[in-house]
Amino acid sequence: MTHTWLPPAEYIATLPRATAYACLYFTDTRGRPFQLRATQASELWQWPGGNMDPGETPWETALRECREETGMVFSGEPRLLGAHFTSDRGQDWPANHIGFIFDGGELTDEQIAGVVLDPAEHSAYRVRSLDEWEREMSPRGFRRLVAVDRARRAGTTIYLEAADAS
């Protein structure tokens, strides 16, 4: 096979498109996951996070989005819990989507009570046990929640694909 050198801009144009998001996974002090109820999203319940802005790192994105969506300023160290890949989803989202899920640690009752939501993005926040979340979430969203929670408890990092948990 013959390879022809292309200038970087031309070569990049031949590669698959992708967007990226980053978020923080929190629990309360009893280990129950904290999630936000989205006003407009395919997955109703989600973690504080969102799409990366130009020039941002995944960690910077997670911190910014957490602050914007909850009013919380997270000052912990970056600890990656998981990476999430969703392939091209057709006309509605003609690009791959890559996610970085960071460990936000435990929130105290006072921190949870101090959450200030952006009503344009989220209408509520909840802390629930996994059994309770299972009744409120889509099956794929719940599988992702369980996988991330399990990784956090085990001190490991996971890799998920859309078929696993998109």
Unique residue bearing structure tokens 């859309």: 162
Domain holding 50: CATH number? 3.90.79.10
Kindly list the averaged pLDDT for each block of 10 residues, start to end, along the chain of length 166.
Answer: 80 84 98 95 88 97 97 96 82 80 97 95 96 94 95 96 58
Tell me if 5 is assigned to some domain. Answer: no
Distance CA 43, CA 12 (A): 31
Q: Are 102 and 25 in contact (CB under 8 A)?
A: yes
**Considering only CA atoms, which of 122, 100, 121 is closest in space to residue 19?**
100
pTM of the model: 0.89
Helices (H), the chain: 8-13, 58-70, 109-113, 130-136, 139-154, 162-165
Tell me if 160 is assigned to some domain. Answer: yes
Distance CA 55, CA 98 (A): 16
Count of domains for the chain: 1
**What size, in residues, is the chain?**
166
pLDDT value, residue 147: 96
Tell me if 9 is assigned to some domain. Answer: no
Domain that includes residue 133, residue range:
16-165
State the Cα angle at 150 between 147 and 152, rounded to 5°. Answer: 110
